[in-house]
Amino acid sequence: MNSVEIGNIGEDYVCSYLIKQGYEIVERNYRIRGGEIDIIAVNSDYIAFVEVKSRKPDSMVSGFDAVNYRKRELIIKTASDFCSKNPNKLQPRFDTAQVIISEGRVLSIDYIQNAFDTTGFKFIF
């Protein structure tokens, strides 16, 4: 399996996980120039911008470590763009999911709500 296939499996799995948690998936792979958000999901309180990192079990870098300062900045910028084009009254939240996949099968998922926030970034919601 290539990295795109592994990534798609991880994103599909996280979407299913969120739906079971009572979320509605609003958008997948929302892109602007220079940024992308894997999943945008809403419930009655939050609009969650979710970054999914799918990994093989022997990966050298964890999915959480891969969401570095620059990646967070791009996610926040993209989320700001989405909110300006799709106004809502929900509280924005930035979540990160790490999905471990082997031979096309999900072994585990770790999901962090509020993995990061906009502190220190120049974007306003």
Where do the domains of the chain lie? Answer: 3-116
The whole-number pLDDT of residue 119 equals 87
Element (H, E) at 33: none
Prediction pTM value: 0.94
The whole-number pLDDT of residue 6 equals 87
Rounded average pLDDT per 10-residue block, the chain, 125 residues: 88 97 97 96 97 92 92 96 95 97 94 93 77
* 32/49 Cα distance (integer angstroms): 14
Contact, 4 vs 31, CB < 8 A? no
* 59/123 Cα distance (integer angstroms): 32
What are the backbone angles phi and psi of residue 20, rounded to the nearest 5°?
-65, -25
The whole-number pLDDT of residue 5 equals 87
Fold of 3-116: Trna Endonuclease; Chain: A, domain 1 (3.40.1350)
The whole-number pLDDT of residue 40 equals 98
